Amino acid sequence: MAGTRPVFYVSDGTGITAETIGHSLLTQFTETRFVTDRIPFVDSVDRAREVAAKIREAAVEYGVRPVVINSCMDGEVGAALAESGALMLDVFAPFIEPLERELHETRQRRIGQAHGLVDFETYHRRINAMNFALTHDDGASIDYAEADLILVAVSRAGKTPTCVYLALHYGVRAANYPLTEEDLEHDRLPPRLRPYRNKLFGLTIDPVRLQQIRQERRPNSRYAQLETCKREVAAAEMMFRAERIPTLSTTHTSIEEISSKVMTTLGIHREMF
């Protein structure tokens, strides 16, 4: 079994591009534990040198060479980061030269353009979707008429982070509904969800993993007992089967994969921002 490796997502913008691509890469390596840190807005050489010092400290702390997944456009900033001695992975480098050859055009090094405010319509859609996700989190609001989709699951099965990801990256208005003990007493959908069954997607999770998550939130509570988790998950899965609600386990599935599966299953087509 490999050890722990520090990974830094470094960007001259928000860092979302570097983190998204980097996370997809790291999920391919299951024997290494990764400790990650996103460092945004590294847009000067001085700032890059500060970050390089932090990376060197991580190398000493963990006793291994850190990995830097970098989306900074300025070559001098990248060179300053490389002084850290880390393995440097430029997320754009493998694609730029082939594109320049194909398009007969040299790229313009513009800082922050990966998530720049180029298209105000898509930007506002993303902000509105985020506000929608927060307003409709964990059943806080049950007005689902404007929802693109509704995630249904027991508490702590991954509903909220998935909704936030869908809003932030795709501008999808995602609500989520937490199944309560009262809901789980029947194998039918709660009445408030029935008018929206074509928008529903069920999430499930291994009860042991659920117990671990709940134990961190409410240690030694009935809520976190393994038997409670087993009973709730079994009842939720029975409901999903009875109502023919599409379902996915979040136990070993990344938020990116969950989001993609949900959108594909429900026929929602949006380009990633």
Q: Binding site for ADP: what residues are annotated?
A: 153-160
| Binding-site residue positions | 153-160
HEC secondary structure over the chain: CCCEEEEEEECCCCCHHHHHHHHHHHCCCCCCEEEEEEECCCCCHHHHHHHHHHHHHHHHHHCCCCEEEECCCCHHHHHHHHCCCCEEEECCHHHHHHHHHHHCCCCCCCCCHHHCCCCHHHHHHHHHHHHHHHHCHHHCCCCCCCCCEEEEECCCCCHHHHHHHHHHHHCCCEEEEECCCCHHHCCCCCHHHHHHHHHEEEEECCHHHHHHHHHHHCCCCHHHCHHHHHHHHHHHHHHHHHHCCCEEECCCCCHHHHHHHHHHHHCCCCCCC
